[in-house]
Structure 1
Amino acid sequence: MTLLAKVGAVALPNLIGWAGSNFTRTAIPTWYEKLKKPSWRPPNIAFPIVWTALYTGMGAASYLIYRDGGGFDGAARLPLTVYAVNLLLNGIWTPLFFGAKRLDLALVDILALVGVIGGCVATFYPVNKTAAYLMVPYLLWTSFASLLNFKIWLDNPSGGAVTAPGSSSEKSN
């Protein structure tokens, strides 16, 4: 059962990321590449590599919390609940940003996510320090991603919406 728990803990966040990639894959060439983006944005290829490493680390951290905190009936209950909220917020960011093209709602989501990841670090630490430390790169990267989301939102007030020729928004420009 221990091997299954380890594999499941690491697989879960990676599966959430993989599900979100369906939104990303279709939106990058048709919408995202047309947005104004800051010069400090990493190349597109960096994102799946970094996120896979981060998802793997956070999955391993959740396993350590589960193992050392006595599962859902022990000291791990609160940290794993915070972690579940993290998974939810993480999982909805991609459909908001790339699917719905709602830069504003994605920004609200990712800012909440940064706070919840901080909550993971804080609640993981008393149960397993290594698990807390495994979440720090995720916290740092997501903080950076929130700045990127904010800058893209600021620089694309229409959310990157394409206006039809002759529409009222085109005439006002």
Structure 2
Amino acid sequence: MQPATDDPKATPFWQSALGLVGWIVLCFTAAGVGSSFTMPQIETWYAELEKPFFNPPNWVFGPVWSVLYLMMAVAVWLVWKNAGWVNAPHSLGMWCFQLLLNTTWSVLFFGLESPVLAAVEITVLWISILITTIAFWRHDRLAAILMMPYLAWVSYAAALNYTIAALN
């Protein structure tokens, strides 16, 4: 995905809209891959784990993650639209890396049934989201702001993950 000209603000509307759709599809594809490891484990392995008092009901995760993935897609689209790959390769590359880590967490926690490995990985994920958010700030402040709820939720998820690893 590359804006049409060297001046990203001159990108035709149709190309910008298509870019947004592309980023949304990428986010929700990653979500789908992660979910394919998560969903089969919810009623079996995950149900048997000892969980902390601050663990939310299972139904909370889907809506929260759906909103966060949409916000992540809009955030990366804003940076792509306003700066492009030429002017923001590090920022866009970091965003792609954190999305890969996001998906990998589900594989480790649910797929491999390893809260300990997932706890190590979520630390790296959190750092990569922070770096991405800071990098986005330089290109588009709204994009960085859109990443902040994701960083907050992953902070909460990390606390859950660390506690589950300790309890089990």
TM over 0.5: yes
Identity fraction in percent: 38
Offset at residue 3 of structure 1 (A) = 1.4
Offset at residue 128 of structure 1 (A) = 0.2
Corresponding position: 1:47 with 2:61: yes
User: What root-mean-square deviation, in Å, do the aligned CA atoms of Structure 1 and Structure 2 show?
Assistant: 0.8
Corresponding position: 1:96 with 2:133: no
Offset at residue 38 of structure 1 (A) = 0.7
Offset at residue 30 of structure 1 (A) = 1.3
Are the counterparts in 2 of residues 86 and 116 from structure 1 also a CA contact under 8 Å?
Answer: yes
Aligned-partner Cα distance in 2 for 1:19–1:77: 25
Aligned-partner Cα distance in 2 for 1:37–1:107: 14
Residue identity in the other structure for 2:85: F
Of 131-140 and 26-35, more deviation after overlay is shown by 26-35
Where does the alignment leave 5 or more consecutive residues of structure 1 unmatched?
157-173
Aligned-partner Cα distance in 2 for 1:136–1:4: 25
Corresponding position: 1:58 with 2:72: yes
Aligned-partner Cα distance in 1 for 2:167–2:24: 36
Offset at residue 31 of structure 1 (A) = 0.4
User: How many residues align structurally?
Assistant: 154
Aligned-partner Cα distance in 1 for 2:62–2:32: 9
Are the counterparts in 2 of residues 11 and 56 from structure 1 also a CA contact under 8 Å?
Answer: no
Match of 2:51 among 18, 21, 37: 37
Offset at residue 155 of structure 1 (A) = 0.1
Aligned-partner Cα distance in 2 for 1:85–1:13: 12
**TM-score, structure 2 length as denominator?**
0.89
**TM-score, structure 1 length as denominator?**
0.87
Where does the alignment leave 5 or more consecutive residues of structure 2 unmatched?
1-14
The structure where helix makes up a greater share of residues is 2
> How do 1:146-157 residues align onto structure 2 when only pairs under 5 Å count?
146-156=158-168
Query: Tell me, what secondary structure is at the counterpart of 2:51?
Result: coil
Offset at residue 98 of structure 1 (A) = 0.5
- Structure 1 residue ranges (4+ consecutive) displaced by more than 6 angstroms after TM superposition: none
Aligned-partner Cα distance in 2 for 1:20–1:118: 21
Offset at residue 35 of structure 1 (A) = 0.3
Offset at residue 12 of structure 1 (A) = 1.0
Aligned-partner Cα distance in 2 for 1:24–1:126: 35
In the TM superposition, what whole-angstrom CA distance separates every residue of 1:106-136 from its partner, at most 9, and x where no partner exists?
1111111110100011100010000000000
Corresponding position: 1:72 with 2:85: yes
Residue identity in the other structure for 2:65: W
Of 127-136 and 2-11, more deviation after overlay is shown by 2-11
